[in-house]
Amino acid sequence: MKIGFIGLGNMGAPMAVNLATAGHDVTGFDLVTDCPDGVAKADTATQAVTDADVVITMLPNGAILRSVADEIIPAMKAGATLLDCSTVDVESARAVADAATAAGLLAADAPVSGGIGGAAAGTLTFMAGGSDEAFANVSPLFDIMGQKAVHCGPSGNGQAAKICNNMILGATMIATCEAFALADKLGLERQSMFDVVSTSSGYSWSMNAYCPAPGIGPESPSDNDYKPGFAAELMLKDLRLSQQAAESVDAPTPMGERATELYKQFVEDEDGLGLDFSAMLPRFEKQTRG
């Protein structure tokens, strides 16, 4: 396929490289970052999408997505597919999909899970919203960039799945970090804690696959001074999106709301900016109940 790729940051660049390595003709554009090897450079976003069969966007937020969509949709050829892999608010995802459809395009929103490592390794999980036709058109690309893609229903449902998943992840990581800090104060060794919890009812991805305690369980960012695999500020972004969505449909999410408050404090008022979201553990280690 001829692919236009808009947004070549930490996630977009390796995704674009994997597509190019697989033999696709990839042209990229980013206002800040240079194109990686194997990806042709466009001088403008509209140049990147001209004659493309699929245009992929990986952008920071809904406002930027809407702005870029307004620019590129008129330049895309009829019948092409706009595939947005950003994590944005559901309303923006649906608005962009509606605009693309009105212009004679297919549209899918497919935010990802798996972080920078998953983007580089081609092991991302995609949560996709959009029509059956749009999903089918881009499925071969999902197979290159990731290991799994789930069609979650109409436009916007990919974003809904992502923010629900990450609301669970944020709350679960906080609980895991709290438990390790409590275990420390109770004199329970971390390895013993892990051996029990990872094989009993406290099992979770946060504990078993991404343990926040250094030297415990599989290697994770905690073993690398909490350099981010998934930065705390990105978790805060996703938690805020979850609360925005919850407010829009009058859904009670007290745990999600509290997790948002804690990550806001960690990122904006403490030293969490630039650290992995699992760095909540040393945060709790330093604190007392009062």
As annotated, the active-site residues are 162
List Cα–Cα distances, 161 to 76, 90, 127, 154, in angstroms: 28, 10, 6, 12
Tokens linked to 6 = 């808009």
Query: Which residue in this structure is represented by tokens 């104060």?
Result: 185
List, in sequence order, every beta strand (DSSP E) within the chain.
Answer: 2-6, 25-29, 40-41, 54-57, 81-84, 106-109, 112-113, 124-130, 146-151
Q: Please provide the distance, in angstroms rounded to a whole number, between the alpha carbons at the two ends of the chain.
A: 59
Name the H helices within the chain. 12-21, 45-49, 62-72, 90-102, 115-121, 132-145, 157-186, 190-197, 205-208, 232-248, 254-264, 280-286
CA dihedral (122, 77, 31, 111) positive or negative: negative
As given in the structure block, the two tokens for residue 99 are 């605009």
Pairwise CA distance, residues 120 & 35, whole Å: 15
Report the alpha-carbon distance of residue 230 to residue 227 in Å, rounded: 9
